[in-house]
Amino acid sequence: MDDVLSAFIGSLHMAAEQLGLPDGVVMVVAICSLVVGLAMPIVLLALPSAYTVGNVTRLFVHPVKGCRGMQVEEWPISKTGLMWDRAWMITREESGEFVSQRQASALAGISAKVGHLDEGAGGGLKPWDGDCLVLSAPKCGSITVPITDSSGTRGGKATPAGAGVLRATHVFGKELHGVDQGDAAARWIENAIKTLGGDLLHPKAMGEPNDIIGVKLRLLLSPSDNGAGGPGEEGRAGAHRHVGDKHARDGCPGNLSFADAMPILVANESNLDDLGARMDRRAADAASSTGRTPIPVDERPVDIRRFRPNIVVNNPKPWAEDNWGVISIRRAAGADPSSGAKLHRTMRCGRCSVPSVDPATHRRAGFTHEPLATMRTFRKHPKNKANVCFGSYFAPHRTAIGHVIRVGDTVAMHEVDERPV
């Protein structure tokens, strides 16, 4: 040890002579360098493995694809995302083609929630433990639909007429099957769309079918992935979908119900402030140049329901969710990150025409088609310039299944995702 120390001091003297500096200066620099070199590994180990990016401010579950969803305070995660999210889908009886707000903006006026057939016996049961779907709409009243799979109703009640039949359908080319929920539900939906108004339908000029009114419809339930399917339906060909190899993530089942593309949509609240400010500037510019002010979307902030997210987070940086690679959602900021529900980002969410539908009035925006028109000026999809992006899709890790997330929970980022998509 003495020899090592002597050699170290000797090298300092030589360095001082070559640099023309006093021995003391060289000694201080050398000691500081030694301390930093020894401390760096300890500092790196002490750095946090996750960074808080915000809190959950709102949770939405959309039981029926295209219909108004439920805003909830807490909800569990399943293999397909939030339990019961997009578990039901309206289809054309003849072709099996699904119906969305792209064809009938009136769907935004139909509320859907999971409930209990016997409300009096629901003590201690959570909303997601329900055995029925309740649909309601202005001037249409409501209908209670027992959750029915191919083995019968979830609550053991009598199976409604026409229910329990496995019907073929498809979502963007993927052949699927769904369990019919009965004749009464189908007729109620047909009447609700008609009552809410044919003038609310997407115009043919936009390239969408405009013949929903008068068409026979069915309400289908996605088998088993939400815990609702009957025996053997999990393995049935075409019973469910997966995110695909391109978007698969280690440890994530990647199952889908009737959602368009991915299990969970996460959006940042501050996006709305940024979008609203840009819309105002664009409207002002249009008014000064053309003499008219096209502001068909006047709510500020823009209603987040237009974008139909599942989890809303309050990060101060607009569009921050573009780069959240892996996040966890847990009870408190100081809690162990491994105790939370871990979600893996798959891609940005490219938007169709649905955000132009006002969720309050069920009407589509006018010729300017806001907020999409403004978004096309700064949020075009990197690979599809005809598309715009709002929010990011995530897939739950297998350890997140069964975890209940709540409004107020802390959201932490574990990995950054620098991909442009």
> 363 pLDDT exceeds 90?
no
pLDDT in tens, 171-218: 888 888 999 999 999 999 999 999 987 444 444 434 344 467 789 999
Q: List CB contacts of 164: < 8 A, sequence separation 6 or more.
A: 148, 149, 150, 151, 152, 179, 180
How would residue 263 be classed by pLDDT, with cut points 50, 70 and 90? very high
pLDDT in tens, 297-355: 666 788 999 999 999 999 999 999 999 999 999 987 666 656 789 999 999 999 988 89
φ/ψ (deg, to 5) at 38:
-75, -30
Closest CA to 230 of 169, 170, 178, 185: 178
If one compares 17 and 247, the residue with the highest pLDDT of the two is: 247
How would residue 36 be classed by pLDDT, with cut points 50, 70 and 90? very low
CB atoms near residue 118 (< 10 Å): 11
Predicted pLDDT of residue 219: 98
If one compares 76 and 119, the residue with the highest pLDDT of the two is: 76
Q: How many CA atoms lie within 13 A of 377 on its CB side?
A: 13
CB atoms near residue 152 (< 10 Å): 15
> Within the chain, what is the greatest distance between any pair of CA atoms?
99
pLDDT in tens, 367-400: 568 899 899 999 998 887 778 999 999 999 999 9
How would residue 274 be classed by pLDDT, with cut points 50, 70 and 90? very high
> 104 pLDDT exceeds 70?
yes
Predicted pLDDT of residue 105: 85
Report residue 245 as tokens. 């190899």
pLDDT in tens, 114-128: 998 876 655 678 889
Predicted pLDDT of residue 59: 98
Report residue 364 as tokens. 């589509």
If one compares 417 and 20, the residue with the highest pLDDT of the two is: 417
When the pLDDT of each residue in the chain is averaged and rounded to a whole number, the result is 82
How would residue 47 be classed by pLDDT, with cut points 50, 70 and 90? very low
> 246 pLDDT exceeds 60?
yes
Predicted pLDDT of residue 45: 39
Predicted pLDDT of residue 60: 98
> 244 pLDDT exceeds 80?
no
Burial class of 27 by CB neighbour count within 10 A (0 to 12, 13 to 18, 19+): middle
Q: In this structure, are strands 324-330 and 311-313 parallel, antiparallel, or unpaired?
A: unpaired
Burial class of 286 by CB neighbour count within 10 A (0 to 12, 13 to 18, 19+): middle
> 238 pLDDT exceeds 50?
no
> 235 pLDDT exceeds 50?
no
Predicted pLDDT of residue 168: 94
> 82 pLDDT exceeds 60?
yes
**Is-cis flag, bond preceding 337, omega within 30?**
no
Strand partners, 350: 389
The residue-averaged pLDDT of 259-272 equals 95
If one compares 54 and 234, the residue with the highest pLDDT of the two is: 54
Q: What percent of the chain has pLDDT over 90?
A: 49
The residue-averaged pLDDT of 38-49 equals 46
Predicted pLDDT of residue 364: 78
> 24 pLDDT exceeds 70?
no
